[in-house]
Structure 1
Amino acid sequence: MPTVTLTKDLTLALSVRDRHASADWYAEKLGFTLLHHMDEAGWSEMQTTTPNVVLGLGEQAEPAPGNLVPVFGVADIATARAALEAEGVRFDGPTETIEGMVSTATFYDPDNNALMLAQDLT
């Protein structure tokens, strides 16, 4: 039995140089719909054509190629993180919160692939 209960939401997070240009590209080429630009957080979200799957675009000066990070939605990030840590899962620093928006925590699988938990605070 899993130690964490996930919501049915999945965000695929990519680092990009220019979120606005990337959002235009994904809308034009793949038919994704802009949900919002959060300029103060350097973050944009696009609804993909797959239900409950969102593409998140995080702005970075020099994004590394192949930098996709699956972000799994959880109802309570503190409970989910505690359950994974109790199972020996390694996290990268503390949980980060942008008040009124989201709390996130990055963790790693056995092959050192980055994954993330996110609790929607809106």
Structure 2
Amino acid sequence: MPLVAVDQTITIAMSVKDRHASAKWYETMLGFELLYHADEAGWSEVQTNTPGVAIGLGEHTKPAPGNCVPVFGIADLDSARQKLEQAKVRFDGETDVVEGMVKTATFYDLDGNALMLAQDLTGGIE
């Protein structure tokens, strides 16, 4: 039995320079929904497309980019990457492929936070 029982929600906290711009970026680029802006706290949250998983955006004058790497599952990584690249989203090198397992690509938000897309190549086999 665990010491503490966590629930089924996850908030991935990231440092950003402008929460409002970052929230808009996540909405536009990945289809996430703004949950709220808590201006007095310097905090905003966006709901990802995964139930129970949100991204918290903490506003700092000098953010600490790259402090976590959330990985988002995607059905067609190549198509998603092409769309993001057309929108001038910066990727870290080529897409990595582990045949029969996974395809991944790391990209960056407005503040240099690393994010990753992952396409399952197992065909549902565990």
TM-score by length of 2: 0.53
Structure 2: tracts of 5 or more residues without a match: 71-126
Determine the structure 2 residue equivalent to 1:111: none
Determine the structure 1 residue equivalent to 2:9: 9
Structure 1 CA distance for aligned equivalents of residues 29 and 69 of structure 2: 21
Q: Deviations over 1:70-103 (max 9, x none)?
A: 9xxxxxxxxxxxxxxxxxxxxxxxxxxxxxxxxx
Q: Is the 8 A contact 1:45 1:57 kept in 2?
A: yes
Determine the structure 2 residue equivalent to 1:20: 20
Determine the structure 2 residue equivalent to 1:35: 35
Determine the structure 1 residue equivalent to 2:94: none
Say what the alpha-carbon RMSD is for the aligned residues: 1.6
**Partner-residue secondary structure (3-state), 2:12:** strand
Structure 2 CA distance for aligned equivalents of residues 34 and 11 of structure 1: 13
Report how many aligned residue pairs link the two structures: 70
Following superposition, the deviation at residue 4 of structure 1 comes to 0.6
Determine the structure 2 residue equivalent to 1:115: none
Following superposition, the deviation at residue 68 of structure 1 comes to 2.8
Spell out the pairing of 1:41-56 with structure 2 (5 A cutoff): 41-56=41-56
Report % sequence identity.
63
Q: Is the 8 A contact 1:14 1:69 kept in 2?
A: no
Spell out the pairing of 1:1-122 with structure 2 (5 A cutoff): 1-68=1-68
Q: Which amino acid aligns with 2:10?
A: L
Structure 2 CA distance for aligned equivalents of residues 15 and 43 of structure 1: 10
**Bigger radius of gyration:** 2
Structure 2 CA distance for aligned equivalents of residues 53 and 18 of structure 1: 21
**Partner-residue secondary structure (3-state), 1:57:** strand
**Partner-residue secondary structure (3-state), 1:63:** coil
Structure 1: tracts of 5 or more residues without a match: 71-122
**Partner-residue secondary structure (3-state), 2:54:** strand
TM-score by length of 1: 0.55
Provide runs of 4+ in structure 1 moved above 6 Å.
none
Structure 2 CA distance for aligned equivalents of residues 37 and 69 of structure 1: 22
